[in-house]
Amino acid sequence: MKRVTLDQPLVWSQVVEVAGQEAYFDLSSGAKARVEAANSIVRAVVQKNIRAYGVNTGVGALSDTVVPPALQSALSHNILMSHAVGLGRPLSVVETRAIMVCAVNNFAHGFSGLRLCVVERLVELLNARCTPEVPRQGSVGYLSHMAHIGLVVIGHGYCRLDGERMPAAAALKRLGLEPLVLEAKEGLCLVNGSPCVTGLGCLLLDRAQRLMDWADAISAMSFETQRGQIRAVNASAMALRASPGLMKVAGRLTELLAGSGILAAATGRQTQDALSLRSIPHVHGAVRDTWDQVEQVVNRELASVTDNPVICGSPQAPEIYSQAHAVGAAIGLSMDQLGVAMAQLGAISERRIDRMVNPLVNGLPAFLAGASGVESGFMIAQYCAVSLVAHNRRLAAPASLDGGITSGLQEDILCHATPGALKAQVILDNLENIFAIELLAASQSYDLLDSSLAPAPRTAVLHGALREVIARYADDRPLGEDIIQAANFIQRESPDGLLAHTNLN
């Protein structure tokens, strides 16, 4: 198994590897030394009775309430208990693991102050595939999700181990581990910062990247079956618009459609195509440019300390800074941005679906049905796509502007970064299903075109791969089942992977 050793800050792809159980995870000696150095400063703060938020004071609006040394362990314990208020269905195993990896990454910067044994416990749980049960709802930022993870460290809450849901205390016993007793600041460390949204953001980047590749491949199939004008993506014309994403998409379309007899026969058939066809490089390219921007923000978040307070200086001269590094304004905005971009991909996909099923514009049998009137074909599948696009439009409203006031006016501006990531997940769920409908409609269109016209070799491979698992539709089965199968196909395969295993020379 691959090993990811955390020394310098991770990048998003490394988080995805560990979260997906594709890599063993550990800490470098340098990372361990940084964690221990910060903890030595916290111990000095306690010994010298220097007031520090969350170390020897309450939290939130209780920040001016002094907590004596004898109660600081209880404070850490109680923070987890009182903050674990999540509700609803749990996050998936991979989502929770991604959050845990990002939490360890945050602690390894060496400015949090908890003991090394606490950080190592999270690493042990990851490598043992023991995953805390974390309810999805109930957070305006990060507190409740992280608290449920922290509960398992102290032997409370629930987790999944060996595919079984069990109390955390039982899981730790099975692993030969004792629950930890937290010390000063450790409870606050375990609920603090932006690991929650960052972990979810890493997974969103990975999934969005795959769906962008499918967007280009499926749109090429739609473009071909609609007999578009390939000059619309001519490299010389595309180079006149400054956009790396546009150039990449135009290049991918050109490659996917090379050698198309269908498009060769359609040359000059009309002056220009509808925007949902000729603006594929512009819309898909803008989404790719947005993805690049979000990637930068997520990697910056991983490179940042997002704890409050941060522990600096030395045991001889502690420096404790109470600031707002835990506020996820930047990554919250980027999650909203990614959600909007993915919703845009779905919107243009639905417009292409409509062109394929609409007999007023495409010259194919109405709704791609074999016997119009007796069969309805893809008529209602397009309705479904419209519904999903509308749902995405509602979800694309920015969570980062929701605001709110909590903790007795102490926390009087909220960025809702984690909710932004969670709703972006739903947008991607919907997008996957929209693409499934477009892929089915494009494949059905190939089946109905003049068989004497050869498709491009690459699109023919994609069409053939789908037909190996889903037969041509003839109103002979519930179409919704085909959509589910096509969505599973998109999840399981990648267009580049399918094409790589085919000799196209």
Q: How far is CA 437 from CA 37, 208, 434, in A?
A: 55, 18, 5
Closest Cα partner for 90 from 149, 143, 29?
149
CB 77 within 8 A of CB 124: no
DSSP H helical segments within 226-328, as ranges?
A: 235-238, 244-257, 261-266, 275-278, 280-302
Q: How far is CA 39 from CA 34, 152, 311, 314, in A?
A: 9, 21, 8, 10
Overall size of the chain counted in residues: 505
Question: What whole-number distance in Å separates Cα of residue 232 and Cα of residue 234?
Answer: 6
Tokens found for residue 422: 């969670």
Which residue has tokens 């044994």? Answer: 117
Give the CA angle between residues 486, 488, 493 to the nearest 5°: 95
Instruction: Confirm whether 53 is a catalytic residue.
Output: yes
Considering the candidates 53, 142, 446, 473, report the single residue annotated as catalytic. Answer: 53
Question: What whole-number distance in Å separates Cα of residue 222 and Cα of residue 219?
Answer: 5
- Distant-in-sequence, close-in-space partners of 364: CB < 8 Å, separation ≥ 6: 225, 356, 445, 448, 449
Half-sphere exposure of 354 (CA within 13 A, CB side): 15
- Distant-in-sequence, close-in-space partners of 500: CB < 8 Å, separation ≥ 6: none
Active-site residue list = 53
